[in-house]
Structure formats: C-alpha cells, structure tokens
Chains A and B, each alone.
Chain A
Amino acid sequence: MNISDEIIKTALLGTAKYQPTLQAGLTALHSKIVAAQQDKEDTFLRYAAAALLYEECGQEPLEMLESIDECPAETQPSMFPKTAEALKVALADKDDVITDYILLHAMARKQVAPPALAPMLLNRALEKKAMRQSLLQLSGATGRWLMELNPAWKPLEGKAVEADEDWETANHETRKQLLANLRSSNPAEAIPLLEAAFPHENASNREEFLGLLATGLSQTDVPFLEALRSDKSKKVKETAMGLLQQVRGARIQEMFLEFVRRAFVVKEERYMVFSKRKVLEIDRSAAPQPAFFDCLVTKVSSQKGVSDELYWLAQAVEYVHPDDWMPALGFAPDDLLAKIAAIDEGGVLIQHLLRAAVRYSHHALALAFLAANTGAQIALLRIVSHEQGLPFHDHAMDANIESYIDLLTETGYRTIRTALAIKVLHSLQAAPYRINQPIYRKLALHLPSEVQSTLEAYASESGHENYQVRYFATQASEMLHVLSLKENLKF
C-alpha cells in the first residue's frame, strides 16, 4: 500500500470516523507531530503534509517497456517555409480557399508539409472528406507514421490506400469509392461486382451504386441495366432507365432515334422563282412506338402552347446523340438551329437540343448555341476550349455572374486576363452581394497582379455612404490581402 492511500482514506472519511495506520519509516515523524499536537485534525494535517512530501520526494522513475519506433525518413521535398507558414494559418483558421490553393500547387510538385503540420493536416482530413486524399499526401511520411500510432487517425489509413481495398470486405462508403475509381479506370469491371452484390443490397444502396455508373457508361452496361428495369424498387428502375436512355446504340436510344429520324423531314421549296432551298419540317403524324412511353417519357405536354406530339419529339431529341441524326439532315449546326427556331413551337425543340448538346458535350452544337445566345452559356463554355469561348464571356458574365465566376475559378487557378478581371470586378461592384466572401477570396486567387491598383481604388471607398459600396470595399480589401498572400507563396 502507498503511504498516500491510508492518508487519503482518512481524509475521505474524516478524522471523526477514522485514524490512519502509521507507515513504517514515518513513525518517528509521527511521534514528533503527536508530541506537539493540538487535536486529531492538527496531527492529521501535519502528518498528511509531511507524508505526501515524503512520498513525492522518494518517487522512483517509471520503467517504460515499450517505445515508439522512429518516423521513417521523408523522401519527398518539403514545401518552402513561408508557404508552410501560410498553410499553418489556413489550417488553423479552417480557410479552405487558401488550403486548397496550397494543396493543389504543392501536390503538383510532389511537395510535403513540414512534420510539425502533420497533426493539423490529419485532423482536417478527418473533417473534410473532399480534401482528404490531398491532405494525407501532403502530410508525407510523418502523416502516415502518425496514422499508425493514433487510433483517432487510424480510419484515415484505409482512405489513403483505396486501390488495395477489398470489395468483399469493404463497407458501403468504401465500396462507393472503389466503384467510382473503377468506373474511371476500367468501367466494364464494375458490372460483375454489382451483379454479385445487388441481390444483397437494399434499394437505397442499389440506387447509389447505379448513380455511379454514369461515368464510363457504354453498351457493355446495357444487359445489366435492362435487367434492372424489372427491379422491385421504382427508384432503381427509374435510375436504370435514365442511364439506358443515355447509352448510344442501346435499344431504347435506337427507338428514340428512329422516332427522331422519322419526325424531322427535309423538303425542297421554290425560292425566288428560279432557285430552290431546303426546308425543315416536322411530321406531326409520325407517332413513336408504344414502348416509347415506357421509357420515362412524359405523355402529356407540360409546356404551355406546345402540342403533345412535339413535346414527345423534344424529349427524344434530348436523349439521342446529335451526331446520330443531325448529319442526315444536311444542315450546319447554326443553320439547323435557325431552321428549328423558325418552326411553329420550335422553341421547345431548341431547349431540349441544348440539353443534348450539354449532355453529350457536343462541340459544334455548343459553339452554335453560344453564338445564338440561347442560354446555358456557362455549361456550353465548359464544352468549348478557353480560346473558342472567349468571345462569349461577356454574355455569360451578364447572364449570371455567380456561375461565370464558378467557371473562371474551376480551371486549376489559371490567371484571368487583366481586362476581363477588371470587367468582372466592375460588374461585382454594381451588385456586390451576388457572391459571398469565400467566392471573393477564391476569385482573388485567379486575379492578375495588374488589378491591384483597381482593387486599391475600390478598397479606398470603405467610408462611402452607400452600404453596397462599403461592402465591396471590404471585399476588395480582402482580395488585396489574398492577392498579396498568393504572390508570397512559393512552390
């Protein structure tokens, strides 16, 4: 028994109920205390003070049987100290805008963060699933070593080696990640796994797995998807059908295509007495096959002033690949758009064709739609190259600046041209509340240093009477800060 155990027992019970048994070695001390005692409590308090000190002074070092193995040496280069300092601040402030910027650039150069930042990176990886892989890689050898030691970080280990994960033993979330990876690298291999797993999965899980098949969708997937048309779950059936509608060459698309080809008719008509020209018409009597309406097609037109027949055609146009029917008509994409627009109720066809252009990332149609300025500019600009899209940026910015900034800031931190950047800032100043502060900060990371004076001018209006101008001045000031930070970061 420790010296303190007996004393603590007395203290807990109180001297009125209990008196400590003396420990060998302390009897002489106790006798001295007793000789000068006033009462029981006086004796106990003095004895307790002396005995606890006696025990503390006589403490032996503990014997440690286990030791921690040293961290393996880091093989990758470390990031610049000032960049690491900025990363530390960003992680501490949970500033995802700056963290993401540093992560992307450091990863591109295969750099790792200093060992001291590893715990912060691992903690952030636990919180931010989207950034997890990058954060783990950035934590380097120290991060991997710490993950082995700390049970709280152990779950991250699996995420770092997903490729080695076993489908049979993996949980649902890991399976989803494995499936997503497989669809990107080798899509056909996913089908046998799903065929084996589906009988044992519930409807919600089946639907989630199916959603991942949109990547790498091909003819190979058709038999599996066709079989799911008789699934017990309505949602699974609909998801499978949605996927089948998008597979070129699949029975459903062939049926849609056959209807589209029959419905669009090109006729020749006399023009200016001596010449002839091609005219596009819709054969409204060309009814689709009865099975057409089993394919998630809406039978009654939901569009005001649009006939059911035309609405069926519009839906079919949306799902078939434009290259499978447009060339046969013999019109250039811009010409075709003009001709469809000239048809009575043609507006609905234009809208659905636009969706097809976006769905299949149809380059020529996208350019034609951009030129016609029929909407969805942002989605269309994502299809064409940056240079091809430049003439249409003004329209896109005017139509929807929030989406336009999304477009500008999703291209790996490419610096925006100065003239365009100034235009964007000017547009934002007119209505600054259209984007929030994180977007302003993200935008700042894409701005060229030449806009500094423009931003300074906006920032100087912090005392303006108009609250919107004041708000934008604050954002301009913050953007200046981010711009300056970006210029100090080295990779």
Chain B
Amino acid sequence: MQLTRDQIIQLAPDDASAKAGQQLATTSKWVQRHAHPLALWGDCQGSGSSPYKTMVDLANMAFKCSCPSRKFPCKHGLGLLLLYASSASAFSQEAQLAPSVEEWLGKRVAKAEAKEVKEAKPVDEKAQQKRIESREKKVDAGIEELRLWLKDIMRTGISDIPQNAYQFSQNITARMVDAQAGGLATQLRKLQKLNFYKDGWQKGLLGHLSKLYLLTDAYSRLDSLPADWQQELKTLVGWTISKEEVLAGAGQQDHWRILSKTQEDEGNLVTERIWLYGVHSQRFGLNLNFYAGNQLPAHLLVAGTTLDGELAFFPSVTPIRVLIKEQDAIEPHCAAVAGLQTIGGMHNTIASTLAQNPFIAQIPLLGSAMRLSLQHGRWYLVDATQQAMALSNDEADGWSILSRTGGREFDCFGLYENEALALHGLWIDGIYHLIA
C-alpha cells in the first residue's frame, strides 16, 4: 500500500515528528532502503555509530525501529514511508523479506491470533455485584446534585454565566467525576468550550443544560424503559461496556471508507474520533479512542483510505460507536459513496435521527452534487434547488473548499452538530480530499 504524503503526515504523533520525518525523507540519510509488497525496511544513519533499523508493515500499517524514541511512529518510520511516497525508485525491490522483517511480521500475526483466543478471566460475581451496587448509589447521588444545580441555574438565569464561563461548571464537573458518572462529567466539560463571545450562545448553553436535565430525568426512570434505552442512558451517564463484550457480539463485515480522523487534546487525555462508512451496509461507524500520556495508538488508520474488515457496534438505540473486530486489509483509496442529493433530505435524516435518539451529539451525513455558497461572511452547503444548510467550518476551510471545487458540484462528508454542518472531506473527480 502506497500512501500519499498527506496521509503519512496524519500518522505522525505530533507536528515535530512530522517535520523531523520530512527531514529524513532523503536518500542520503538511509544507508539501506528495501521495499517488498508487504513491508519497507531500511537503515537510517543517526548520530550514533550504528544506523537505526526501521521497518514498516505496509499491509496493516505498523512500525518498528531500533531508535530509543518513545514516540510512535518515530521520525525514522515516518521518514522511510515519506521517502517511499516521494521516490519509490530509490528503494531496491525485494522478492523476499529480510529475515528480521519476516520475523517481526510473523510475530505480529501470532500476536493478533493470540489475542483472538485469549480466554476471559474468571470473575467474582458477588464482588462485582457489590461494586455495581456501590457505584449505582454514588451515581444516583451525583445525579440528584446535578439536577439541583441545573434548577438553581434556571432559577437565577443564565445571563451572568459568560462572565464566569470557565468556573461556573467546574465544581459540578468534579462532583460528577467523584460520583463515577464520567459521561455526565464529559457533557459538563463541553459547556466550558462554548463560545460565549459568539451570537446565539444562549441557545447553545440552554440546549446543553436542558438535555442534561432530560438525561437525568430519563435515567431516574431507567427500570421502566426498554433494554436498548437502558443501555443507551447508562452509557451516556458513564457506565462502560467492556471491549470484550462488544467484540463478542455480531460484527459487520464491509469495505469501510475512513472518512475522517480527528484528535482532541484535553489536557492529559487525547480523544481520537475515526468516522467510517460501510459501502454495502450503508452504515456509519465511529471508532472512539482515548489516549493518556504517551499511550500508543490503538490503530494507525488513515483518513482517505478504505478498511476491509469487520466492525463490532456498541449496543445503542442508534448504534454508531464501533470497535475494529477484524482488519483484513487497507486500501490507499477512498472511492466516492452515494449521498443525499438535497438539503431537505439532510434535514429529514437529522430529524429522524434526533427523534430516535435526542441525545446524539453528532450526526454523520453524506451529500451528493452539492455546491458551496458564501453569504454575509458565512459558508453554506447548497443543493441543486438552491436550498442551503449553514456550515460551521471556519473561513479558511471555506476558501480551501472553494478553490478545490472551483464553484462546481462535489460530493461530501460532514458532521451535523449544534444546528450546523462541519464538512470533513469531499470527493472531487472521484478523489477524496480531507479538509484540514
């Protein structure tokens, strides 16, 4: 698989690694450069006496390097891949893998197989039940406090909140963490990210607060709700389902287009969101990963490629969050998929999704034959009948999209959130372009 430069840059753990990798993408830095359909390997002359031995698994996108860097992938892995992308002819094409590379790839396969047959550890059900009961009590108490807090805010009004935007929800967020209601704490943290300098902040804030109240209301009646709703609400409040449990369920085999990959840094925690779309199943999937500190990434998936494999969906009223159950192959392309041709159709999808699950935060949408328009400094997505939807992309994104499309029709992928659509990628002449 040969990735483009932009796709390789996405794999870099940070900007410094991306830059250092580009510096190493020159033949003079590599004493040896070998390519095989399954892997790349080479020796990079660093500051030490012996060169670093770097390997890249092209089939499943994995890296190995003898350098002491704690970043993953390291600059040498990125440099080797970037060099291959820019001058594949500089590599000697090998019919056989080098023994060390073959051994590494073999170990990876063996490790993946071992994971599959890993047996579940015996569980002390009594102790587990006790822990659950104890947590339930804490969560219930926390929710009661949150309801009181929400009511207090409504009683006095929200007009003073912008003056105290950062601190007004800090204590209650901490309280939700103590109450082991992590989902609610996450929802509360989002309040601090609201732009109180932008017109319409009142509606955004009220929407968040009232939905939180609705959630606590629904949670208090958990026992009277259907099983799928019980699971949905418990997840929203912060009860987690183990990965093993999700993976044990039925999977969905498909060609999954990887439409976007974003990372959000929240202090010590990085949240990675990878949006996928199944060509045959016509389902969206969201692979959500959380990394603390120097934790290694779960997958090196690249937006703008296609994953052939099986995904397991988390149980939900609107199942969307997924885990990768089996990864067969990755193709370096992301061919266009049919989307909605009218803005009215998009609104219908939004309405039906919200009717099914009012707590859903982001609604993925695919559009076909759309154009871009600009009015009073704001960008809009426009269909053939001149119906439009506001975009939340910033000004620079808008000009970038316009320059690529030349004002002509394009297909696109975006996420609807807070009454606007954020475009993440577009197809022009069948080629997928990410909006940086």
Contacts and interface: CB of A to CB of B under 8 A. Distances in A.
Interface string A56-70: 111111111111111
A481 B26 contact: yes
A44 B388 contact: no
B375 A48 contact: no
Interface string B186-223: 00000000000000001101110111011001000000
Contact of B213 (A45, A58, A68): A45
A61 B347 contact: yes
A13 B157 contact: yes
B355 interface: yes
A361 interface: no
B28 A456 contact: yes
A17 interface: yes
Contact of B154 (A15, A71, A115, A460): A15
A23 interface: no
Interface string B382-423: 110011111000001001101110111000000000010000
B98 interface: no
B100 interface: no
Contact of A52 (B87, B210, B344, B399): B210
A12 interface: yes
B387 A64 contact: yes
A52 B205 CA distance: 12
Contact of A62 (B207, B380, B400): B380
Contacts of B372: 68
B243 interface: no
Given A119-B396, A119-B400, A64 B373 contact: yes
A146 B403 contact: yes
B202 A14 contact: no
Contacts of A53: 354, 358
B400 A41 contact: no
A60 B405 CA distance: 26
Query: What are the nearest 8 A-B pairs in CB distance?
Result: A14-B157, A71-B406, A49-B210, A61-B387, A41-B151, A484-B26, A57-B351, A45-B213
A16 B396 contact: no
A68 B382 CA distance: 11
15 contacts: A16-B157, A45-B210, A46-B217, A58-B351, A59-B347, A60-B347, A61-B346, A64-B373, A64-B380, A71-B407, A85-B86, A119-B396, A149-B374, A455-B28, A463-B47
Contacts of B205: 11
A284 B277 CA distance: 95
Interface centre among A41, A66, A85, by most chain B C-beta atoms within 10 angstroms, is A41
Contacts of A89: 22
Interface in A142-186: 142, 145-146, 149-150
B433 A116 contact: yes
Contacts of A142: 403, 406
A185 B388 CA distance: 52
A381 to B, nearest CB: 32
B210 A12 contact: no
A197 B87 CA distance: 58
Interface in A1-39: 4, 7-8, 11-17, 39
A283 interface: no
Given A11-B154, A116-B433, A481-B23, A46 B213 contact: yes
Given A45-B151, A480-B26, A66 B403 contact: no
Contacts of B157: 11-14, 16-17
A115 B209 contact: no
Nearest to B372: A68
B163 interface: no
Most buried by A among B157, B355, B387, B419: B157
Given A67-B386, A119-B396, A460-B45, 19 more contacts: A8-B206, A11-B158, A11-B205, A12-B158, A39-B151, A41-B152, A46-B213, A53-B358, A56-B351, A57-B355, A61-B389, A64-B373, A64-B386, A71-B407, A116-B433, A146-B399, A149-B374, A456-B28, A478-B23
A64 B213 contact: no
A484 B27 contact: yes
Interface of A: 4, 7-8, 11-17, 39-42, 44-46, 48-50, 52-53, 56-71, 82, 85, 89, 115-119, 142, 145-146, 149-150, 452, 455-456, 459-460, 462-463, 478, 480-481, 483-485, 488
A12 B161 CA distance: 10
A68 B371 contact: yes
Contacts of B355: 57
Nearest to B387: A61
B22 A484 contact: no
Nearest to A9: B202
Contacts of A61: 342-344, 346-347, 383, 387-389
Contacts of A42: 151
A11 B86 contact: no
Contacts of B344: 61
B161 to A, nearest CB: 10
Contact of B373 (A68, A452, A456): A68
Contacts of A11: 154, 157-158, 202, 205-206
A117 B400 CA distance: 8
B400 A82 contact: no
B399 A13 contact: no
Interface in B75-124: 86-87
Given A53-B358, A57-B351, A64-B373, A15 B155 contact: yes
A45 B203 contact: no
B350 A68 contact: no
Contact of B210 (A13, A48, A480): A48
Q: Which of A11, A15, A142 has the most CB of B within 10 A?
A: A11
Nearest to B400: A119
A447 to B, nearest CB: 13
A144 to B, nearest CB: 12
Contacts of A455: 28
B146 to A, nearest CB: 11
A206 B408 CA distance: 50
B129 interface: no
A246 to B, nearest CB: 48
B371 A67 contact: yes
B164 interface: no
A16 B155 contact: yes
B354 A14 contact: no
B53 interface: no
A463 B86 CA distance: 29
B159 interface: yes
B26 A485 contact: yes
A220 B154 CA distance: 83
Given A41-B151, A58-B351, A7 B206 contact: yes
A456 B26 CA distance: 12
A480 B155 CA distance: 68
Contacts of A17: 157
Nearest to B383: A61
B26 to A, nearest CB: 4
B148 to A, nearest CB: 9
A82 B86 contact: yes
